[in-house]
Amino acid sequence: MKTRDLSEHREYAPGKSTGEVAIEIGRDESEIINLSSNENPLGPSLNVIKTLKEKSEGVNRYPKEASKDLINKIAQKWGIGESQVWLANGADGAIDYISRAMIEPGDRVLVPNPGFAYYGMSSRFHHGGVEEYDIGKKEGFELSAENVFRGYKGQKIVYLTNPNNPTGGIFPTKEIEKIIEGVGEDSLVVVDEAYGEYSGKRSSIELCKKYQNIAVIRTFSKAYGLAGCRIGYAIVPEEGSKEYSRVNTPFAAGELSCYAASAALRDEKHLGKSIEMARWSREYMEKNLDMNVMKSYANFVLVEIGNATESFEQLKNKGIIVRDCTSFGMPEYIRVTCGNQEQTEKVVKEINNLQE
């Protein structure tokens, strides 16, 4: 097969799995602590597990009613119209739907550096270009309209990650509004709130009721513990929202995934426990790690450790997986997911031991 020229496409590099590391270091998989991919250590709620068992016999059917029910629940949760909910197979799928709806060949998107690689990947898949605005160490990791506008030159889509991955920082709402009001009429501001539940801040979905040039992406992978289900959504402006059927992949959000997400939305208690566990772990790491830890509003912290690749290997050999942020262009940082109490205390102890 002769593919088109993909030389400018960036490959997505996920964190290592417990199985991979167990084989590499010759340990049982149950002994490995994985704090690399920002997954929920509590897993899904019991309500979700019960629902999946009850609904599993229906997987021979396409997900029509299940997806409609989930869209209705999401619309009610946020007080918006059902047509504004673009259901997808994870936040990645929602990004692709927005790309399909917005990007024409030669259009460009503006993405954060450091930031989530898939924004640019999706643009290139749809024959668009990618440009960056810098929010790294040189900029004090500041998430501001000023830093965004340094890179803005009329790009079709402007991505804001709030909280940011991998820094954990946030855009104040007033800064997001400055960006929305300051971009050109052909630009769409996309606020990715994959970690929004952890921030304790107001969602930018409220701004979708005020402006017609903002979309917000949410996922069930993080705080709801459904990373393996691949289910997420975008909230889009009312203007243009009815184009969903022209850009979505038919039945991309699977039957069981839709049922699982609906069940997760009903279990506010489990969500609260997940958020509280992440808050405790985050604050424990910020207080007890013997090095510079970025203030975070997500379920992870960014740690300035010196040589990230060397530290990653040392921790891996102790059965702990963290994220080497060299792939983000930050070779002196690691990202550590918030775990449960036992995991958090152990990773703090082992990271501090590296410095001795």
Residue 173 lies in a domain: yes
Statement to judge: residues 88 and 123 lie in one domain = yes
Residue 4 lies in a domain: no
What's the pLDDT at 356? Answer: 64
What's the pLDDT at 11? Answer: 77
Residues 263 and 45 sit within 8 Å (Cβ to Cβ) = yes
Structure tokens at 99: 């790309």
Q: Given a cut of 90, is residue 71 above it in pLDDT?
A: yes
What's the pLDDT at 62? Answer: 86
Boundary (domain end) residue, out of 251, 266, 281: 266
Residue 135 lies in a domain: yes
Question: What is the C-alpha to C-alpha distance for residues 226 and 189, in angstroms, rounded to an integer?
Answer: 26
Instruction: Kindly state the average pLDDT of the residues 243-248.
Output: 88
pLDDT, tens digit (0-9, with 9 covering 90-100), for 293-317: 999 999 999 999 999 999 999 999 9
Statement to judge: residues 95 and 183 lie in one domain = yes
Least reliable range by pLDDT among 56-60, 193-197, 232-236, 297-301: 56-60
The CATH code of the domain that includes 343 is: 3.90.1150.10
Residue 213 lies in a domain: yes
Residues 278 and 199 sit within 8 Å (Cβ to Cβ) = no
DSSP-derived secondary structure for 134-186: E-SGGGTT---HHHHHHH-SS-SEEEEESS-TTT-----HHHHHHHHHHS-TT
Instruction: Kindly state the average pLDDT of the residues 182-206.
Output: 97
**Phi, psi dihedral angles at 183 (to 5 degrees):** -80, 165
Statement to judge: residues 181 and 283 lie in one domain = no
Q: Given a cut of 80, is residue 10 above it in pLDDT?
A: no
pLDDT, tens digit (0-9, with 9 covering 90-100), for 84-98: 999 999 999 999 999
3-state secondary structure 250-298: CCCCCHHHHHHHHHHHHCHHHHHHHHHHHHHHHHHHHHHCCCCECCCCC
Statement to judge: residues 289 and 244 lie in one domain = no
Boundary (domain end) residue, out of 217, 247, 266: 266
Structure tokens at 248: 């979505």
Q: The domain containing residue 183 runs over which residues?
A: 46-266
Residues 123 and 273 sit within 8 Å (Cβ to Cβ) = no
Amino acid letter, 182: G
Residue 74 lies in a domain: yes
Termini Cα distance of the chain? 53
pLDDT, tens digit (0-9, with 9 covering 90-100), for 315-356: 999 999 999 999 999 999 999 999 999 999 999 999 999 976
Residue 8 lies in a domain: no
Instruction: Give how far the C-alpha of residue 13 lies from the chain's centroid of Cα atoms, to the nearest Å.
Output: 14
Q: Given a cut of 70, is residue 287 above it in pLDDT?
A: yes
Sign of dihedral through CA atoms 40, 46, 50, 55?
A: negative
Statement to judge: residues 169 and 229 lie in one domain = yes
Statement to judge: residues 223 and 262 lie in one domain = yes
Q: Given a cut of 80, is residue 239 above it in pLDDT?
A: yes
Statement to judge: residues 217 and 290 lie in one domain = no
Residue 321 lies in a domain: yes
pLDDT, tens digit (0-9, with 9 covering 90-100), for 176-188: 999 999 999 999 9
Statement to judge: residues 236 and 200 lie in one domain = yes
Q: Given a cut of 90, is residue 260 above it in pLDDT?
A: yes
pLDDT, tens digit (0-9, with 9 covering 90-100), for 11-61: 777 778 888 888 988 899 999 999 999 999 999 999 999 999 999 988 888
The CATH code of the domain that includes 68 is: 3.40.640.10
Residues in Cβ contact with 227 at an 8 Å cutoff, skipping those fewer than 6 apart: 37, 39, 40, 221
Statement to judge: residues 183 and 283 lie in one domain = no
User: Among 286, 300, 299, which residue's Cα sits nearest to residue 335?
Assistant: 300
The SS3 of residue 336 is: strand
Statement to judge: residues 216 and 138 lie in one domain = yes
**Average pLDDT value over all residues in the chain:** 94
pLDDT, tens digit (0-9, with 9 covering 90-100), for 132-163: 999 998 889 999 999 999 999 999 999 999 99
Number of domains in the chain: 2
Statement to judge: residues 232 and 306 lie in one domain = no
Residue 10 lies in a domain: no
Boundary (domain end) residue, out of 238, 266, 294: 266
The CA-CA-CA angle for residues 270, 273, 277, to 5°, reads 145
Statement to judge: residues 186 and 323 lie in one domain = no
Instruction: Kindly state the average pLDDT of the residues 72-76.
Output: 97
Question: What is the C-alpha to C-alpha distance for residues 46 and 29, in angstroms, rounded to an integer?
Answer: 24
Cα–Cα distance list, 238 to 4, 81, 243 (Å): 36, 8, 10
What's the pLDDT at 32? Answer: 92
The SS3 of residue 26 is: coil
